[in-house]
Amino acid sequence: MTICVRVRVSGRVQGVGYRYYTTTHARALGVKGWIRNLPGGGVEAVLEGERKSVGELLGLMKSGPSGAMVSGMEIAELECKGYDDFRIIY
């Protein structure tokens, strides 16, 4: 079953390779969507894919790359749009 969620991540997630880390894992898991930095230091992402793959990616995003420190994640379900790939947007 395909699901789509918006995730807002807070903590030290900018300047530590967090977007690249998430993009690499999303592509490996077959998750589509996007990720971007937010003003004020957070990151926002839209994840679309099989429930198990999205759940696995969310688990990876909770820890992030070695320099990151995630202090919180807000997750909300969305209607799926049928993204073609996963990319960083600016």
DSSP H or E segment with residue 45: strand 43-50
The candidate with the shortest Cα–Cα distance to 59, out of 84, 27, 22, 24, is 22
Q: Roughly how many angstroms between the first and final C-alpha of the chain, as a whole number?
A: 29
Residues recognised as catalytic? 19, 37
Q: Strand, helix or coil at 74?
A: strand
